[in-house]
Each structure stands twice: as structure tokens, then as C-alpha cells.
Amino acid sequence: MKQIPAIEIENLTKDFRVGIRGVKLRAADNVSFRVEQGEVFGLLGPNGSGKSTTLKIILGLLRPTSGSCRIFGKNSGDVAVRSRIGFLPEAPYFYGYLSGRELVKYYARMSGVPAGKIDERTADALALTGMTDAASRRVKTYSKGMLQRIGVAQAIVHDPDLVILDEPTAGIDPIGSAEIGDAIRAMKSRGKTVVLCSHLLGQIEELCDRVAIMNRGKLVVAGTLDEVLTQRGKQLAVIGAGTPLTPDLVEKLRERDGLNIESVSHPRISLERYFLENLKNK
């Protein structure tokens, strides 16, 4: 039997009225996609393309102008469903006088974690986000990246089935981003569904099962990374070091065998990988 999708949005449209004349701005334009249970799903697109608006509608924080949104098969305003969701907003504001640990405990209490479980769940969330060492410091002394991490910790502390993270790695260094990536993988391995907005495309490629790309409020494409990125019409051959593909040889292959060699390149690692391989724990 096919599982109920974690999220199913259909023909979602959201108009805002902006400026003193109340001009209509269509932030989301007839957007439809599904997120299956247990997958990591990336919602991508340029600034202002409607990602955060779509997430807020999914969370029931904004009402759509038209269209529908269901979470685990229920209306997104349903209280029982809301307690199964964790959310990191794109510009989180936290009360600065609490310590990181107090803040995460506060969210645990607010989202219904049983009293006997609060300390354990808090410690887990702090460990998963790499915030254990800084947990006793006041939030107002945190760097930008530490604020993001404590934000992710509060989003996952009640062990939600669906975690929605709006730019969890904004302002975080590459090693911290990788740790957030590890936390996302850990959630996936426990059967959770994660929806993630990010401009870090390298990380999206590494983490996501499927993506949806928005532009100017419209859905451009949705599918697995393979479906979206593979250029079926082209082939890339990687030749081992023993057979150097010198310019002479390339010319010969072209002339003699009529091979259509468009370009010859060396495989390259991403900058993200370089940071991780060369700078972590050094």
C-alpha cells in the first residue's frame, strides 16, 4: 500500500497586497508538488521566488489565496498534525537572556515533550547540532552560525516526523554546514521527513532525494536529482592516468575514428569537499 504523502500541495496560489496602493503581488503561482514520507526534499530557487511563502502556507502560518495543502493527509491547520512538525524559520528570533540549553528545553516543553524526557531530548538535540559545548552560554552572546544551530536544535527537540528548515545553513561555516547535513541524515535514517530550503546547492545535491525548483512564484521542475540534472544527451568519459589524453591523441581520435569530442576535462572536487577534506579538525 502506498503511504500517505508527508506533504501534498495542489494549485497553491498566494497573493500579497503591497505598497500604499495595495498592488497585487503573486508570491506563489499555482504550485503543486508532493513530499513523500521519509525523504529529504529540497525547495530551491532564487531570492524572492516564493520558497518561504510556500513553507509558511505548508505550516499553516499563512493562508493560501487558493489551492490546498495537506500534511500526513490532514488539513495543515489540524492541531494534532502541527505537533508532528518542527520548524526553523528563515530569520529566527530567540530570547537572548536564556542559555542555549534553557531555550531548547523551553521549546521541548512548549511542544509537549513529557517532563521526564525533556533533559534527554534536549541533550540529544544539542549533540546533533554540535551545540553541547556552548549550551550554557546565553543566546545573546552567540555568533550567527551558533544561532542557526540552536534554531535547528529547537526544531528537532520534540522528535517531529516532519522537519521544515528554511535556510538552516545561512551564515554557517562549511564544517558547521556539514554537521547540520549530518543531523539531517540522522533524521532521515530514523524515518523522518525533512524539507529544506537552501542556496548551498552542493549540499542539496548531497542530501536530497528529490527537489522542487521555483522561479518567480512558479514551479519550474520537481523530481529526483537524477531526473533534474542528468544530461542524457551527453557522455563524459573519465580516462585513467595511465592513458594520458594529450591534445595530439584527441586530434588523432577525432580524425581517425571520427569521435565527436566536445571537450576534455579533469574531474574536479567541489569547494565544499575541499574544505571538509583539508580543513576539518586541522
> Residue 144 or residue 252: which is nearer to ligand ATP going by CB?
144
Q: How far is the CB of 231 from Mg ion (least distance, A)?
A: 29
Interface stretch with ligand ATP, choices 48-56, 67-75, 76-84, 224-232 (CB under 6 A): 48-56
**35, 39, 42, 52: residue in contact with Mg ion (rule CB under 5 A):** 52
> Residue 61 or residue 259: which is nearer to ligand ATP going by CB?
61
Interface stretch with Mg ion, choices 1-9, 85-93, 182-190, 265-273 (CB under 5 A): 85-93
**13, 29, 32, 48: residue in contact with ligand ATP (rule CB under 6 A):** 48
- Calculate Rg over the CA atoms of the chain: 22
Name the binder of 38 from Mg ion, ligand ATP, none, CB < 5-8 A by kind: none
Interface stretch with ligand ATP, choices 49-57, 111-119, 138-146, 243-251 (CB under 6 A): 49-57
What are the CA-CA distances from residue 234 to residues 162, 262, 264, 267 (Å)? 37, 10, 13, 16
- With beta carbons less than 8 A apart as the criterion, state whether 13 and 57 touch: no
Q: What number of CA atoms fall less than 13 Å from residue 174's CA on the CB side?
A: 14
Can residue 51 be called a binding residue for ligand ATP (CB under 6 A)? yes
For 101, other C-beta atoms within 10 Å of its C-beta total 22
- With beta carbons less than 8 A apart as the criterion, state whether 179 and 280 touch: no
CA angle 51, 52, 57 (to 5 degrees): 100
Name the binder of 25 from ligand ATP, Mg ion, none, CB < 5-8 A by kind: ligand ATP
Q: Going by C-beta distance under 8 Å and a sequence separation of 6 or more, which residues neighbour residue 22?
A: none
Can residue 198 be called a binding residue for Mg ion (CB under 5 A)? no
Interface stretch with ligand ATP, choices 2-10, 43-51, 68-76, 172-180 (CB under 6 A): 43-51
For 94, other C-beta atoms within 10 Å of its C-beta total 17
What sign does the CA torsion over 62, 56, 70, 121 have? negative
> Residue 44 or residue 134: which is nearer to ligand ATP going by CB?
44
Q: Which residues would be at the binding site for ligand ATP (CB under 6 A)? A: 16, 18, 25, 27, 45, 47-53, 90
